Amino acid sequence: MTRMLVNCLVVAALSAFVSSPAAAAMPEDPAAPRKTLSAFASEQELAGLFKRWTDEAQRRRDEQRARRDKSSEFAVGQALPAPAAAAAPAPAPAAVAKEAAGAKNESVTNVQHAGVDEGGIVKVHGEHLVILRRGRLFTVRIGDNQLRVVAALDAYGRDVDPGGAWYDEMLISDNTIVVIGYSYARGGTEVGVFDISRAGQLAYRATYHLRSNDYYSSRNYASRLIGSKLIVYSPHILSPWGDPYAAFPAMRRWREGAQASDFRRIAPATRIYRSDEALDPFAGAALHSVTVCDLAKPDMDCQSTAVLGPPGRVFYVSPTAVFVWTTAWRGAPQAAVATSAVFRIPLDGSAPSALKTMGSPIDQFSFLEGDGMLNVLLRSNGRGDGMWAAEVNAGDLALLRVPLASFSDGRESAPMAAYRRLPKAAGYAIQSRYVGPFLLYGGGTGWHAPQATNRSQVYAVRYAQGEVYELPLPHAVDRLEALGGNALVVGSDGKDLHLTSVRLGSLPMTVGQYTRRDAAQGETRSHGFFYKAESELDGLLGLPIVGGSESGVRQLGTESAALLFLRNRGLLLSELGTLKARPSASDRNDACRASCVDWYGNSRPLFVRGRVFALMGYEIVEGKVDETRIVETRRVNFAPTVLQVAP
């Protein structure tokens, strides 16, 4: 399936989650050794499993051929076509040379965890903004109070055909830029590595391929960066009808005329883990791999750890581990039953552990690891967050809260007492965020056009104790964000955009509300918003906006009309004003060769070293802020046709 196709989700009935008065902690025997998942002992053991799969596939072929032979003479000698094989090879991380680091980079990305950077479309390197858009990298100097375009370069190598590729995510470690993309033509994740100088000049170094199926999610990001460690999640669908090894985690450095034989496996059998759960490859099986590459080494050193499970997935990266939640559906559609498990893959390379579970998270924001516990918001009808699967509001909701110590070799199940039933949320799609001691969630428009809504609610759950508070709202819940230790709810009533602040005290309550007439969010992804705290209760926030009747899907092809800036004073919100886009013909006729749809958005509010910028398409607008307003001071257009950059 490509990104041009919206997932068709089959909503099947599931047993409702068990309600319990409290999420009981699971006792741990301090004398018992900590258990982990078992890896395959050898390549021979792994090959034995795949031999059983292929033998069963052949048996099914023979049975089907025999049935066809009986029904029609024309079927004689015809073999059944094998299902589509797993995606072909693709990119992986790169060898990296490192020069002395420039000024300490300031985060401009609205991340889930401080210190865990997420692949995005704009970052800061020293005195420059670095922007990834429509298959190209750009640098804009902001040091010395400047706003000047410095350089532009294709986000792929000179010997790489960009056709069928999407370059969506960028991360920067010291003077190394990493661009993460997916190539449908080459069938895997591409990792392009670039050098950036202190003067903002760009130089291509190499492209690597990492075998994988499409990692795309309408909400999640495939890459993270912790220190100098690049972390990439990849799904690998295994087919019993073909060669399962063709989908295994592997790397190659791209060269003109590259062959499949160039791939080097980075997940040997002894780094592939499994639980005791029986896996039916004919119902769907996948390797969920986490590849960690050290960008601080002269040559990129990458290792992959994989867990074997069903293909439905949601993954979440905490400062210490990657959690992968897998879900399988068995039985007829009328009586389908979901079986789930959550895997914990430590980032230090130690063996993963797992726990059997029920239901499925909505997206990465459903998770929170902290204080020795894992909290997860679950829905009963869900198949993960691949493609647009997170954009469906179906089934019952529950909160799972379990100690990390309860993870073991995958034989244990989370007890019923660890699940707490939660109220359902109205709307097309559910949004959630953990802020302080609370989980907040509610329902809204998602990628649809705004719907008429004058009565809604956001739920605040004190996740450690289980108390649930319902806060009435006159608008939908389309975005939830942290304002320091408090929260912000953003949503439409069908015509106007509302921002409501929430005080998360002993009794959560809504405090301030701002309404922007005839407006809607210009970005649905988490990175479209940014909050700059000035004190515990004060700060500045920015959000892209468009006209009030426009749907979220428009962000794929058109930049936002404006960036709205508000001031927060003690949770009372006041408008500072907007910085508006002025797109031109040169922006539209940019000679784009790759990644010509803005899947990850194109507009961002940026707060950098006391300055305020609005990124909108190919424009960066700077504004000056005083106590009551923001006014434009200058702008720069970095469209390739304006810069006369060679394609």
| Helix runs in 207-346, H state only | none
Kindly indicate the confidence band of residue 87, based on its pLDDT and cuts at 50, 70 and 90. very low
DSSP code string of 115-142: TBEE-BSEEEETTEEEEEETTEEEEEE-
Per-residue model confidence (pLDDT) at position 2: 47
Kindly indicate the confidence band of residue 75, based on its pLDDT and cuts at 50, 70 and 90. very low
Per-residue model confidence (pLDDT) at position 114: 92
Contact between 629 and 576 under an 8 Å Cβ cutoff? The reply is: yes
Lowest mean pLDDT among 96-110, 123-137, 225-239: 96-110
Kindly indicate the confidence band of residue 332, based on its pLDDT and cuts at 50, 70 and 90. very low
Tell me the per-residue pLDDT of 129-179, one tens digit each, with 9 for 90 and over: 999 999 999 999 999 999 999 999 999 988 888 888 999 999 999 999 999
Per-residue model confidence (pLDDT) at position 101: 34
State yes or no: pLDDT of 10 exceeds 60. no
Kindly indicate the confidence band of residue 552, based on its pLDDT and cuts at 50, 70 and 90. low
Summarize the confidence of residues 29-35 as an average pLDDT: 49
State yes or no: pLDDT of 523 exceeds 50. yes
**619: nearest Cα among 149, 106, 240, 36:** 149
Lowest mean pLDDT among 46-50, 151-155, 473-477, 567-571: 46-50
Tell me the per-residue pLDDT of 98-110, one tens digit each, with 9 for 90 and over: 333 333 567 899 9
Q: What helix, strand, coil percent values describe the chain, rounded to 5?
A: 10, 45, 45
Q: What percent of the chain is predicted at pLDDT more than 90? A: 56
CA distance 363 to 361: 6
* Whole-structure pTM value: 0.86
